[in-house]
Chain A
Amino acid sequence: MRGLVAVIKRELVSYFITPVAYVFIVIFLAMNGVFTFNIGGFYERGLADLEPFFSFHPWMYLFLIPAISMRLWAEERRVGTVELLLTLPISTWSAALGKYLAAWIFAGIALALTVPVWITVNWLGEPDNGVILASYVGSFLMAGAFLAIGACVSAATKSQVIAFVVSVVICFLFLAAGLPAVTDFFSGWAPDIVIDTVTSFSFLAHFDAITKGVIDVRDLVFFASLAGAALAANVLIIEQRKVA
């Protein structure tokens, strides 16, 4: 437990002692602004809600979350500090979980800094704050799932660039699983059950359900189990690939 806390602290601090954290937060907030007000048509819609704000989150996360997760293990493996970390008296699980939680907390901090948008919409009208809160929860959970995938990919390589690119591709597959681009590939030859299974992995579908204001246990379980599976794979990869 003390090892887990120490790892979280170290990782979190390392985001902020390098420019990574500040660059990331500034870009995240700026993009949020652009998407919400310019592209999303926040004012033109005349509705007091944050739908234009949240609807772009999955697509922003697609590129920004792998940028947070790419260095988690790849950098440790490249520099060799993985040997230092894993010869400390902590389990590989605590190390992996600590790194993951630190990255997730960091994503949470970035997300929390968007709260002024929430305040703005309350000042302008009377939005359904329950829906907005649920959307924040959904957005945070989705970020967690993306991060777990990114951390797992990062563990498999020494190169941050490879970690980034592969993470984006895998995250895109999960994101777009329900879109025609992916389902068309299966329709016509695969049985319906395969198409349904693939569609059920769609981040978009689960995220949309939550942003409607209904936090369904199934959606929570989806994101949690996906993150759990990715973390388990992360631990296995680290155990297997210490040598290279």
Chain B
Amino acid sequence: MSAMIQIKNLRKEFGPIVAVDGVSFDTPKGEVLGFLGPNGAGKSTTMKMVTGFLPPTAGTAVVCGHDVLKDPIAVKASLGYLPEGAPLYGDMTPEGLYKFIAQVRGIPRPRRASAIDRVKSLVKLEGVMRQPIETLSKGYKRRVGLGQAILHDPPVLLLDEPTDGLDPNQKHDVRRLINEMAQEKAIILSTHILEEVDAVCTRAIVIARGRIVADGTPAELQARSVRHNAVRLRVRASADAVESELKQIATVAGVEREASANGVARCLVLAKPGAVIAGDVAGRVRAKGWAVEELVVEPGRLDDVFRDLTMSPSAGSRS
């Protein structure tokens, strides 16, 4: 698999502010890369540089073999881009907009109608194709924007917060669409919705203050959570007894007590990094003869990882 998007040491300064500070990564075909980070971390700026909209201060991006500094038109031709907030010409209809995009993108006249039809059914715009875009709901507008990005069936897709502002059903539809296209394309999507990463991404990059602070599969990121492999436990026993008993296990890092009632203790047993504690915890509970109401292994929370990575003072340095 050759990389369809190569980002090489991209850097962008706005006056004294360094928005993007040396970001590099490659994205091969078939990968859906989730670009994560708090607002203002440099996600959108990085995307704008890859699309050739903003000139980088240093570094470059190569899309399908074309260097964005040397041949921006070829780069723009080979990618589809949904800008942040999906800006659209409000006075046009989706149909008018798509005809315009199709013409600019050089889709031959006989194939334009079928290309527009294909997108119309992919992003579900039946019935609103002849309505001015400014009269459409936010969800429709976002889908119109997504539609223009995939009209020419580009090998590379850059989507800046594609599901922002959509309701849960619409989010589901957009994610399904991204999953369907994933095999044939290299896709980068930025988001600050972490469940999205689980739902669609094969790889996640976390960026904070213009630098990459983590790069891995969603599962790898989850494994960095303090709650990774933690055991959620609900047993019939006194909370004090449970805590003191379980703390004696060598691989247990700690016990977080949660609200207990009616003689039922609830707690979260945290594992030491890399340790698997479910077996030991279950064994100890059985040995004490406590009746188990719940025993679940936690995969870890991306939220925690995200917060740790982007809030800690060392967030600026690579880890």
Binding site for B on A (CB under 8 A): 2-3, 5-7, 9-10, 13-14, 17-18, 79-81, 83-84, 86-91, 242-243
Contact B76 A88 (CB under 8 A): yes
Contact A87 B53 (CB under 8 A): yes
Contact B90 A79 (CB under 8 A): yes
Contact A242 B53 (CB under 8 A): yes
Bound-complex Cα distance A80 to B44 (A):
13
Q: Which 7 A-B pairs have the closest CB atoms?
A: A80-B87, A89-B77, A6-B103, A89-B76, A83-B83, A6-B104, A87-B51
Which residues from chain B contact A83 at a C-beta distance below 8 Å?
48, 53, 83, 87
- The number of chain B residues with a CB under 8 A from chain A is 28
Extra pairs beyond A81-B87, A86-B53, A91-B73 (15, CB < 8 Å): A9-B100, A10-B89, A10-B96, A14-B89, A79-B87, A79-B89, A80-B87, A83-B48, A83-B87, A84-B83, A84-B148, A87-B53, A88-B104, A89-B106, A243-B54
Interface of A is mostly: helix
Which residues from chain B contact A81 at a C-beta distance below 8 Å?
87-89
Of the residues A13, A18, A87, contact of B52 by C-beta under 8 Å: A87
Bound-complex Cα distance A113 to B74 (A):
42
Which residues from chain B contact A10 at a C-beta distance below 8 Å?
89, 92, 96, 100
Q: Find the residue from A18, A83, A90, A242 having the highest chain B CB count within 10 A.
A: A83
| Residue contacts A-B, CB under 8 angstroms, 10 given | A5-B103, A6-B100, A9-B100, A14-B89, A17-B91, A80-B85, A84-B83, A84-B89, A88-B101, A89-B73
Chain B 292-311 against A: per-residue CB contact (8 Å), 1 yes, 0 no?
00000000000000000000
**Residue on B nearest A88 in the bound complex, by CB:** B104
Of the residues A2, A84, A89, A242, contact of B54 by C-beta under 8 Å: A242
In the complex, how many angstroms separate the beta carbon of A110 from the nearest chain B beta carbon?
Answer: 20
Bound-complex Cα distance A203 to B62 (A):
48
**Residue on B nearest A4 in the bound complex, by CB:** B104
Q: Does B81 contact A (CB under 8 A)?
A: yes
Q: Find the residue from B85, B87, B90 having the highest chain A CB count within 10 A.
A: B87
Which residues from chain B contact A14 at a C-beta distance below 8 Å?
89, 91-92
Q: Does B286 contact A (CB under 8 A)?
A: no
